[in-house]
Structure 1
Amino acid sequence: MKHIGWCLERIQMVMAHIPRAVISQEDKDKANRILDEIQEYANTLAQLILHPKFKRYLHQLETSSIEGIRLQAHEIEELSKNLEQMLYEVDLYVKDLRESIISNPEQWKKKADQLVLMIDQKFGGEKGELRKEFQIALHTEEELKQLVTSEEHLAEFLK
Structure 2
Amino acid sequence: MITVRLVQGDITDQAVDAVVNAANSSLLGGGGVDGAIHAAGGPEILAACRELRATTLPGGLPTGEAVATTAGRLRARHVIHVVGPVYTTGEDRSGLLRSCYTRALAVADELGARSLALPAVSAGVYGWPARDAADIALDAVLTTTTTVTEARFVLFDRRMLDVFTEALAARRR
The normalised TM-score by structure 2 is: 0.27
